[in-house]
Chains A and B, each alone.
Chain A
Amino acid sequence: MLQALRDTLPANRWIRLVLLAIVLGVIFTPWLFDGTRALDTAARLSIFVVLAASYDLLLGFTGVVSFAHALFFGIGAYAVAIAFDHFAPGFGVLLVAIVAGLGVSLLVAFIMGLVSLRVKTIFYAMITLAVASAATVLVSQLYHLTGGEDGLTYRIPKVLTPAFKLLDDKVFGVRVNGKLMNFYLVVFSSIVLFLIMVRIVASPFGRVLKALRENDFRAQAIGYNTLAYRTTATLLSAAFATLAGVLMALWLRYTGPESVLSLDIMIDVLLMVVIGGMGTLYGAIIGATVLMLAQSYLQGLMGNAQDVIGGVPILSELMAPDRWLLWLGLLFIASVYFFPQGVVGRFSGPAPKEATT
């Protein structure tokens, strides 16, 4: 594992420090930050790191553009939601749900891959978009199974709920209850999933994926069956997204189209990967952090800013908390403009300006 980390970690020391700070910050959130909001942000952040990293496996490493990634996330989440909606919440049921979710995801990914990975990138992208849209419609139509637009609210194993008390005393001021257990289940599962992806990227297989992205034609000419590799990458990526969806369903105790299946999620993930740096895997951590923090706290921050500059006519209008999406948009444009290779891509690897011949 250490070897895989050594081979893949960005060379830049500052990026490494930032990554370490984010990981430690998430792990110690219950002690570092107050309130359920911080805990919720940290848990979602972990899940989105897995989701974004699994998307990077496809987009950044293999060069496959898919818009169906949120679909696999949704399949994982709905598998758990439907299972817990119908059966008493227990870990056996959860296991069955995970297996079923993975099965459905892999099947869908495999069919999509077979039908369309042969064709050019843009057609694959469009087919995935079509399948993803169809799935969204399907979920809202299958009301009895999925709860339609309202989604499903369900009970999860009691060990993972606030009602379950593990210790009577607080540990350094933090209540050790099921909620905390749930939090660490999510965080550590995410870390394990991420490390597995690191391992895959550092493997001979990962090397071939990069070759596909760089020059598919050449990869074939030296004997790689590129269709098989691309399909495998699609399956792997779908599997990780599904598992991220499972974690999301466990954490939220609610699953609905808006929270796991919508195009918004897809766009968020795309932005996380692009902002963090495609083809770096670690970019997913940075990208997800930037986006989650912005989504969770930008509105509040702008509220404060408005209070400070309340008197200034146009500026205070711009700083109104309702305008937070505008600022988020500007942030994206700026980041893509200044860091076209993403944060991690920009600060690691050979800088293009030092090119020698």
Chain B
Amino acid sequence: MTTHTTTPVLETRELSVQFGGHVAVNRVSCRFDSGTLTAIVGPNGAGKTTYFNLISGQLPATEGEVRLRGRVLGGRSAAHRARAGLGRAFQLTQLFPRLSVADNLRLVVQAKLGLGFRFWQPASHLIAVDREVEALLERVDLAGRAEVPASQLSHGGQRRLEVGMMLALDPEVMMFDEPTAGMSLDEAPVVLNLIRSIKEAGEKTILLVEHKMDVIRSLADRIIVLNNGTLLADGEPAEVMSLPSVRQAYLGESGEGAT
């Protein structure tokens, strides 16, 4: 494996969380570099989403640490981590359901620009925010649905909005948790192409939980495999997928790769 001379953008050291007697994530140490896309795979219950939750601060770790650009995040809240550059898109769509699609995005842009504590200026006067939102709507193909409440979008539309919110936050680290789950065959490429374009711009550190093998092969620079909360393998896609232990744990058990 490559040696790192510089500080990685994101690093977890011995990261663990325990629920009662069950160790959901067990001493996972990993480094993530700028401009790379790492796929995180593993059977259901392997701890992929939990690992994400530990990194983005939705869940406190029992042991170990998360470092962003070398700084230990410790007990920092999810909000603090988001402001520091850890962006998170969720597996179960998390939107502001009764607010319009545009308002969902505006909220994120506004958060990024730190405008939340302005009490007096009309929000509709934030021209810069609106202009950015317009561009984002185009990017995620929702321009025609801007004023519709988010809850009225189709499932695919909601997933696109979720990705759009990540783009709006524009964080250094982007963590996508099964961004194409439940999407139809013709919808999924829109989202995947978006992620590909972010990757090709080369500035972001992308972590992607994904099940579909063809997606992983075409997008990922590197795969890490989690099984029962432990790091089973870490390396280039082809190399990792040929390891016997991985084949047994992941492909052997859920060869269909579905969910």
Contact = CB atoms under 8 A, between A and B. Distances in A.
A124 B49 CA distance: 30
Given A214-B98, A215-B94, A207 B123 contact: yes
A223 B124 contact: no
B60 interface: no
Interface stretch (A171-179, A195-203, A242-250): A195-203
Interface string B107-151: 110111001111111111110000000000000000000001100
Contacts of B152: 355-357
Q: Would you call the interface of chain A mostly helix, strand, loop, or mixed? A: helix
Contacts of A3: 122, 124-125
Given A208-B110, A221-B78, A203 B94 contact: no
Contact of A215 (B95, B108, B116, B154): B95
B117 A205 contact: yes
Interface string A341-357: 00000000010000111
Contacts of B98: 214
B48 interface: no
A229 B95 contact: no
Interface residues of B, number: 42
Contacts of A299: none
A218 B79 contact: no
Contacts of B82: 220-223
Contacts of B83: 223
B58 A208 contact: no
A332 interface: no
Nearest to A279: B98
A276 interface: no
Contact of A207 (B79, B110, B165): B110
A206 interface: yes
Interface residues of A, number: 32
Contacts of B97: 214-215
Given A208-B110, A218-B95, A224 B123 contact: no
Interface in A101-150: none
A4 B254 CA distance: 55
Contacts of A211: 96, 99, 107
B207 interface: no
A125 to B, nearest CB: 22
A220 B123 CA distance: 20
Interface in A227-262: 229, 232
A202 B79 contact: no
Contact of B116 (A200, A208, A355): A208
Contacts of A220: 77-79, 82
Contact of B122 (A7, A214, A217, A221): A7
B94 A221 contact: yes
Given A210-B96, A217-B94, A224-B116, A203 B78 contact: no
A204 B116 contact: yes
A221 B125 contact: no
A207 B107 contact: yes
Given A222-B82, A223-B79, A355-B152, A203 B120 contact: yes
Nearest to A212: B96
B94 to A, nearest CB: 4
B99 A210 contact: yes
Most B CB contacts (10 A, CB to CB) among A205, A211, A222, A350 go to A222
Interface in B58-99: 58, 77-80, 82-83, 88, 90, 94-99
A226 interface: yes
B174 interface: no
B230 interface: no
Given A215-B96, A218-B94, A218-B96, A224 B111 contact: yes
B26 interface: no
A4 to B, nearest CB: 5
A350 B145 CA distance: 13
A349 to B, nearest CB: 9
A350 B78 CA distance: 33
Given A3-B125, A222-B108, A350-B149, A205 B116 contact: yes
A61 B164 CA distance: 25
A356 B153 CA distance: 8
A225 interface: yes
A207 B106 contact: yes
Given A214-B96, A215-B95, A222 B169 contact: yes
Interface in B24-68: 56, 58
Most B-side CB within 10 Å, residue of A3, A207, A217, A229: A207
A214 B99 contact: yes
B123 A222 contact: no
A303 B117 CA distance: 52
A211 B108 CA distance: 10
A355 B153 CA distance: 10
Contacts of B77: 220, 225
Contacts of A355: 152
A83 B8 CA distance: 64
A199 B88 CA distance: 32
Contacts of B116: 204-205, 208, 224, 229
16 contacts: A3-B122, A3-B124, A199-B122, A203-B122, A207-B103, A207-B123, A208-B110, A214-B96, A215-B95, A219-B79, A220-B79, A221-B88, A223-B111, A225-B77, A225-B80, A350-B149
Interface of A: 3-4, 7, 199-200, 202-208, 210-211, 214-215, 217-226, 229, 232, 350, 355-357
Given A202-B123, A217-B58, A220-B79, 4 more contacts: A207-B103, A211-B107, A221-B58, A221-B82
